Amino acid sequence: MASSPYQTIAADLRDQITTGRLAPGEQVPAVADLASSYGVSVGTAHRAAALLTAEGLVSVVRGRRATVAGA
């Protein structure tokens, strides 16, 4: 079980990616949208996105929205 808010967000997005609800190349929700949806700070949501990026599940290009890796 995820122990902190950013881990909960990352786990939810990871599940959406592995089940195909978020397909390769599809945009990941914006950090601000994640923060609003989960009731956390933008920093916390950004940490979740950074975790998925480090895991290679999300691809980030400066100036563009993050997308699901593998496209």
Give the CA-trace dihedral at 3, 50, 21, 61, to 10 degrees. Answer: 170
Tell me the pLDDT tens digit for each residue of 42-60.
999 999 999 999 999 999 8
Average pLDDT of the chain is 93
Could you tell me the pLDDT band of residue 33, with boundaries at 50, 70 and 90?
A: very high
**Containing domain of residue 64, as a range?**
5-68
Amino acid at 60: V
Domain count across the chain? 1
Span 16-25, average pLDDT: 96
**pLDDT for 41:** 97
Q: What is the pTM of this model?
A: 0.89
CATH of the domain at 52: 1.10.10.10
38's tokens: 């989960």
